[in-house]
Structure 1
Amino acid sequence: MSDTALAAPRSTVHVALEGRGYDVEIGPGLIAGAGRLLVPLGARRVGVVTDENVARLHLDPLMASLEAGGLAASSTVVPAGEASKSFAVLEEVSNALLASKVERGDLVLALGGGVVGDLAGFAAAILRRGVRLVQMPTTLLAQVDSSVGGKTGINTRHGKNLIGAFHQPSLVLADADALSTLPLRDFRAGYAEVAKYGLINDAAFFRWLEDNWQEVFEGGPARTKAIAASCANKAGVVARDEFETGERALLNLGHTFGHALEAAVGYDDKRLVHGEGVAIGMALAFRFSAELGLVGADQADRVAAHLKAVGLPTRIQDVPGDLGDARRLLDLMGQDKKVKAGKLTFILARGVGQSFIANDVAPENVLSFLTSELSS
């Protein structure tokens, strides 16, 4: 790794948690420069967890960099896809990290997308009752969302991310170069999470995305700006509500609907990936808000139009194959993490950039809305 590459323009976002704050570094060359960047953390060993697809592209340069930095590195490679967020794979990863003698003062490094970040992060949280974690996200979705904030976990037959822990990383290295290897479908899926930040609380950012999304897809300064703005937005929310007791639930805009759709397809990535579920979920959240009289139909149409413009799905019918009826989807929502005392919680909106937490949404209203959506 040359000094020139390490000196390339980067953005740094700080997550301000008292006594446990950390930086999110965004820019090119961070995988190849990891050895130097991790030395200040003072670890002797690094246990890398990645998946088969990412390993083919990025594992060799990462391992070479870690070794050049004087770090003893081992790697564990899991199958790509949502199915790896399971008890069985968690056990395999945990045993592999223990076999490589990763200690409390060492590092677990998650190299990959959201699946790897959640899985490796949860393993780090429970390994020896807590080992430090470095997130190295290689997808847009992971760079702007799942790598920041400390949420980790696995799926069960009852739903997504229902077993997990909050475990903040010590550092996040978001290598912009890694995004050049992403298939267009995966980049689009990640963009849904970028748009989410504008829809939650930053109308100006959403307007900027409407004007500049093509440049974000092409790369360069607009892409870095979008990633940094998204990370800064999430960092602020996490600093104010680390354990999702209030405001942080806003980050789940579209996720109650989206997670139900993912469960309905059995977490089959060929039919639906997470970001696509979020895109449909956000469009549904705005249409549901319009049906409840909270926001004008023009605002819901605006949201759907932008998501559709970038190539994202916006309707339940956009998911291939049978999903079951409205009652089944409602039942799947009942396993959402935000359910309290059996009552559904949704993130709804009074406008673009004006999302809010709606507790105790009447199930009959949701059922009627889903029935209408499935028949439209």
Structure 2
Amino acid sequence: MNNDKDFLKGRGAQSKVHNRFFEHQHEVLDDFLEYCLKEGEQADKNKTLYIDVFPKTIVNKVTSPDVGMMYSMNPYQGCEHGCIYCYARNSHEYWGYGPGLDFERRILVKKDAPKLLEAKLKHKSWKAQTIVMSGNTDCYQPAEKKFEITRKCLEVFLKYKHPVGIITKNALIQRDLDILRALGKDNLIAVNISITSLSEKTRRILEPRTATIKRRLQTVKMLSENGIPVNAMLAPIIPGINSHEILSLAKAVSERGASSCAFTVVRLNGSIGKIFSEWIKATMPDRAEKVLNQIAACHGGSLNDSRFGLRNRGEGKIAEQIHQLMALAQKKFFSDKGRTSLNTSLHEVYKGGQMKLF
């Protein structure tokens, strides 16, 4: 790893990135930087800002055929975890921000999410189907410790006996074990824990503000021991960075009780290719070009890939090797395990907030 003093620690992206929908862009000039240096001031304080937003709805229908969910909801937009590869970075442009540092430092907070969710679940036309929290950004990112919106939403799901899925890479989910356990009694909850590497060094630069690997593995074990099904998301697999860890990752999560594992091959859609390239040249200059070329080889020669059915799976020899390793891992460590469908039969009689008597 490069120890260049200019490397921005604690963040994934190393710069602000222009919003492609904006005609004008903000540029920091050298004379301003020189002024800050002389005055002993910081040109960029690198602070996180929480911004309240007020959407009219919170549950989104997922139209993508290769995501694996029908409905999702996101209590927060933007994510302070700072994962450099995150596909959600591009969505921040629709809110008027950039996909680089803005994505990590401008966190949009939907405090009305529990109320909007309750209205959705009570609607006469709504038929219970699993709603996945964190379809876009992590519902247990650091902001959740302050605002507790995810916990309040889980209370709504429990009140109306409605199935919910969670995707996270933060051990903060342990805080809500009481609600998760109650949901689990009626088979209303499934959790996906994302674990990208067993190397803490890799984790720190790839996902700078996420929970440690030790804490994530502990979370898999704790949830599993409490009867909550856990799928380990070994994703994304990045050639030259974590592709050699597939078997060891699968073994580690299986030993801690995960019922299944899944993966995706990294793709750097939209502006993420530029952000990732800048990052890897700063953190891994000795292998940057090799990794970028291997990623491109998985996507028809381009870092970006928008083809449904292929964008998350990849193609070519390198992607084929990843698939073969994952198939071996699943056969070796998960042959006697598997996912179960969540219960959608209870919600209808609880739509009024309590079980109907007549």
TM > 0.5 fold call: no
More helix by share: 1
Structure with bigger RCO (C-alpha 8 Å, 6+ apart): 2
